[in-house]
Structure formats: structure tokens, C-alpha cells
Amino acid sequence: MSRRTRLSLFGVAAVLLAAVLADGLGGLPAFGGYHGIYGILLSHVTVAQRRATDVITAITFDYRGLDTMGEEFILFAASLGLVVLLREQRDERRQPDDSPDQADDPDRYAGLPPHRPHTSPALIAVGRWLIGPVLVLGIYIATHGQLTPGGGFQGGVVLAGAVILVFVAGGRLATAPIRPTGAAEVLEAAGAGGYVALGFGGLIAGARFLTNFLPLGTKGSLLSSGTIASLSVVVGLEVAGAITLIVSEFVDQRLLTGRHQ
């Protein structure tokens, strides 16, 4: 195809796209205008019905709880697929692990090949200082989803962020004590299974799957909103496990070398 034909094709397509876009943008509601009846209704009845002060978490884990279960298993399946794809291949071999005391050894650059990655002392210091606060923040966000913005997904990702900080600041990527793959798999499975188990709790209580069967408690206290808080915590476990597993697999890949014939 000549340059001229391509340009004229592009011209026609651009004009058509501009026309469709202009038409679509013209039909948009005014900025901030919202007419969703379901949303307006839920923002009025949620606090009275479920004693949860964060309406968004109540929608995610109660009114649309089944959708959230589907989303949770999307992440579950994605991380499993990644583990299968990034397994150790036949022509790959594991590099010898970094020695455990490498991070604290001031002479560690000396004996290593020049392309060996090394962690700067400043990064180690800041990273180590941040691990604790990030861990606490993650637990807080995952357990207070029914009260304040946040919930299981956000808290779980923050928890996985703490694990990433361990990787970043530790300076010893593959040594046994902090290779969390096994723990991450257990966490992820417990979180995914826990959601389904809480769903069956509704059936055992004599209602439908994922019915909010636990006592609702007092509005604004930590143990309120029935199954919303529990579901948020199990999703936190699942997400923390899944993201940790994904990052660990990527880190493992970094340490595998192949022959690449």
C-alpha cells in the first residue's frame, strides 16, 4: 500500500472517528450529573440495613457479593496461570543464591561480576524503615473496610507492597527465609476458599448463598456489618497472597538462566 493511499485512508477514518466522538460527547450528561437510581437508593438505605458506614464496601461484599466472588477467582486463576507459565523450564537452571550475609557485607561488590545487581545502602535503609508501617497500614485497610474507604482488595495489595519492600530492601533475593512462595499459596487458597465458605454460611443459616447471616452489630464499631467485614478480610488474604505469588514468580525468573541455543 502506497504512502498516499494510507494517508487518505487515515484521513477518512479520522474524520469519521471525530464525527462519532463529537456526537457521543454531545450526548453526555452534564459534569457531575448522576441519574443512577440503584446508586441513589443504596446510598440512602445501606447504613440502616447493614450498619456499614462505607457504602462502597457494602455494595462490593453484600449487595453485589457474587460479582466480587467472580472477580476474586479471576485474580486466583490469573496468578495460577502465571505460576504455570513461569515454571522452571527444561533448559533453565537456577543461579547460585546470593549468600545470606551479602546485604551487610561492605566488601560485597568486590568479589562479584560487574553486572551483578547490588542494592544501594540508602535503598536498604529506607526500605527496611518502611516495611513495618506499610504492613500495619495494609492490615488496617483490610480490616476497616466496612467503616472507612478501603477493604480487602486495597488492604491486600498494600500488604503485598510490604512483601515487595522486603524484596527491594533485603538485598538477598533468593535465600530461603524470605522466599514467600509457599506461604503466599496457602494465603491465597485460604482467602479464596474462605469466601466460598462464608457464602455457604448463608445457606446453612437457612437463606440464599452469600446472605449476610452474621450479627450486624453497632454502626461504626469494628465488629459490625455482619459478613461484610469477614468477606473483606478473606479477600485481603487472597489478594495479598496472589500479588505476593506473582511478584515472587517474577523475581524467581530473574534468577533463572537458560542456555538459549
Partner 1 sequence: MTFLQAIALLAVAAGGTAVVATRDPLRQVIVTGFFGLLLGILFFVFQAPDVALSQIVVGGVALPVMVLLTLAKLRERARSRADE
C-alpha cell at 192: 479464596
- Interface with partner 1, residue 191, by CB under 8 A: no
- Interface with partner 1, residue 257, by CB under 8 A: yes
- Interface with partner 1, residue 116, by CB under 8 A: no
14-33: contacts with partner 1 (CB under 8 A)? 31-32
In the complex, least distance from residue 139 CB atom to partner 1, rounded to whole angstroms: 14
CB atoms under 10 Å from CB of 72, counted, come to 23
Q: How far apart are CA 161 and CA 138, in angstroms?
A: 9
Q: How far apart are CA 78 and CA 158, in angstroms?
A: 19
46-65: contacts with partner 1 (CB under 8 A)? 54, 56-57
C-alpha cell at 44: 440512602
In the complex, least distance from residue 56 CB atom to partner 1, rounded to whole angstroms: 5
Identify any residues that bridge with 94 across adjacent strands, giving them in sequence order.
256
Q: Which is nearer to partner 1, 209 or 256 (CB)?
A: 256
Q: Which is nearer to partner 1, 171 or 202 (CB)?
A: 171
Contact 154, 141 (CB under 8 A): yes
Q: Which is nearer to partner 1, 202 or 236 (CB)?
A: 236
3-state secondary structure 194-216: HHHHHHHHHHHCCCCCCCCCCCC
Residues in touch with partner 1 (CB under 8 A): 31-32, 54, 56-57, 115, 117, 141, 149-151, 153-154, 157-158, 160-161, 164, 167-168, 243, 246-247, 250-251, 253-254, 257-258, 260
